[in-house]
Amino acid sequence: MKNVYMDYAATTFVKPEVLEEMMPYFTEKFGNPSSFYEISRITKRAIDESRGKIAKALNSESDEVYFTGGGSEADNWAIKGIASAYKNKGNHIITTKIEHHAVLHTCEYLEKQGYKVTYLDVDKEGFINLDDLRNAITDETILVSIMFANNEIGTIQPVKEIGAICKERGVLFHTDAVQAVGNVPVDVKDMNIDLLSLAGHKIYGPKGIGVLYIRKGVRIHNLIHGGGQERARRAGTENIAGIVGLGKAIELATENLDEHMNKMSKLRDKLIDGLLKIPHTNLNGPRGDKRLPGNVNVCFRFIEGESILLSLDFEGVSASSGSACTSGSLDPSHVLLAIGLPHERAHGSLRLTMGDRTTDEDVEYVLEVVPPIIERLRNMSPLWEDYIKKGEK
Ligand SMILES: *Cc1c(COP(=O)(O)O)cnc(C)c1O
């Protein structure tokens, strides 16, 4: 039976080289880095080394890198921590309608606490309008949180321009770069980024480890209180093996970035071209270099995303109907609604995300199994029957 994994945006496998570096930290090198003996110094050194690798990948300083329990924690910390620290300056936050739920639900929570949040619209390819951003900033604005690249439709925002606007207006800029790091170039200095979130398990590192980059000089309150770890900003005994794994993963990802981007864009474009040959199929998100290299997201009209997933699963293809968080629920994706798709079309979406182990043959296999699935499902669909009878309205 074929086994084709096309859900890299949900999570990746851990690279063998990454796992190998992690292993000793579970068994021999297990010392608590806060203690005063040799095996502790070993783990403390390992953390410092990993921090250095992450700083190098982001073009930041080592002491601007803080380890967290993953991408969601980094997003929560950035937004809640800034909201709380800058409460006296203002109570307004700007974000977008297409953020990951780790950002959206955090903003909704803050609205209940009395903050005001502006959710910027996006165009039909998922881009924000820079003038909308400029116009939304007021004297009360303390934070702009806009994702680097979208996890569903792959849209890469003009991050450098956003950073420049925020800098000019004296507003802090946070970006959720969980999908961007390791897939496209990221440079916090050049792009004027004040805070940035990333996660291990989207870049061939382990789950449950992430980073919040906090530019020096940015005031932020703690999310997790307790011991003095992470320079007293994030309490809790360090996830040493995770930290070591994340350092190795980001090092590998950035070393081979050009090659990886090239390979992924070719596979992506081949898959998109093939899928668009199916009648009544639309691409969600942009084409070209403003789209994440491994991301494909299409809508097949007249059918349900969930039924496509079931049929694909039967053929050995692991895919998603949007974000992992929305599969299983009957609500259409907030991202697809934000780019202007009607509910009916947003329900028929399929996300295929590729990565390190994806081959040309995998793409060809998917292009072989998808068309008959769509045809069969359409033949069972009352929407399709209506369309055939009456013609398009
Ligand atoms: C996966 C993801 C997250 C959440 O990261 P976790 O490590 O799973 O908590 C946040 N933002 C984006 C864009 C993601 O893709």
Q: What is the pLDDT of residues 18-70, one digit of tens each?
A: 999 999 999 999 999 988 888 889 999 999 999 999 999 999 999 999 999 99
Q: What is the reported pLDDT for 347?
A: 85
Q: Which residues are annotated as a binding site for pyridoxal 5'-phosphate?
A: 71-72, 151, 179, 237
Tell me which DSSP letter residue 244 carries. Answer: H
Residue 291 φ/ψ, nearest 5 degrees = -115, 140
CB atoms closer than 10 angstroms to residue 389: 7
The model's pLDDT over 122-158, given as tens digits with 9 standing for 90+, comes to 999 999 999 999 999 999 999 999 999 999 999 999 9
CA of 12 from ligand 1 middle (Å) equals: 12
Give pLDDT, residue 24. 97
Residues of the chain with CATH 3.40.640.10: 16-255
| CB-ligand 1 contact for 322 (6 Å cutoff) | no
Contact of 240 with 47, CB cutoff 8 Å: yes
Whether 325 sits among the annotated catalytic residues: the reply is yes
Return the pLDDT at 390.
Answer: 84
Tell me the average pLDDT of the chain: 95
Confidence band of 161 (pLDDT split at 50, 70, 90) = very high
CB 353 less than 6 A from any atom of ligand 1: no
Q: Is 3.90.1150.10 the CATH classification of the domain at 257-390?
A: yes
Q: How far is the CA of 182 from the centre of ligand 1 (A)?
A: 14
Q: What is the Cβ-side half-sphere exposure of residue 133, based on CA atoms within 13 angstroms?
A: 26
Q: Tell me the average pLDDT across 72-92.
A: 98
Check whether 327 has a pLDDT greater than 50: no
Percent of all residues in the chain with a pLDDT value above 90, rounded to a whole number: 88
Query: Mean pLDDT, to the nearest integer, of 286-308?
Result: 94
Q: State the average pLDDT over residues 190-200.
A: 98
Pocket test for ligand 1, best of 98, 106, 155, 176 (most atoms within 8 A of CB): 176
pLDDT of residue 325 exceeding 50, the answer is no
Tokens representing residue 48 in the block: 């410092």
Residue 393 has pLDDT above 70, yes or no: no
Q: Using pLDDT thresholds of 50, 70 and 90, give the confidence band for residue 323.
A: very low
Is the domain 16-255 a CATH 3.20.20.80 member?
A: no
In this prediction, residue 344 carries a pLDDT of 82
HEC string for 143-169: EEECCCECCCCCEECCHHHHHHHHHHH
**Lowest-pLDDT choice from 159-168, 321-330, 353-362:** 321-330
The sign of the dihedral angle between the CA atoms of 249, 73, 80, 332 is positive
Whether the CB of 72 sits within 6 Å of ligand 1: yes
Burial class (CB in 10 A: 0-12, 13-18, 19+), 57: buried
Decide if 250 contacts 185 (C-beta within 8 A). Answer: no
Q: Is a pLDDT exceeding 70 seen at residue 324?
A: no
Range list for CATH 3.90.1150.10 in the chain: 257-390
pLDDT band at 184 (very low <50, low <70, confident <90, very high): very high
Mutate to test the pocket of ligand 1, among 73, 178, 179 (most ligand atoms within 8 A of CB): 178
Report pLDDT digits (tens) over 251-296.
999 998 999 999 999 999 999 999 999 999 999 999 999 999 999 9
Residue 329 has pLDDT above 60, yes or no: no
Measured in Å, residue 28 CA sits from the centre of ligand 1 at 31
pTM of the model: 0.96
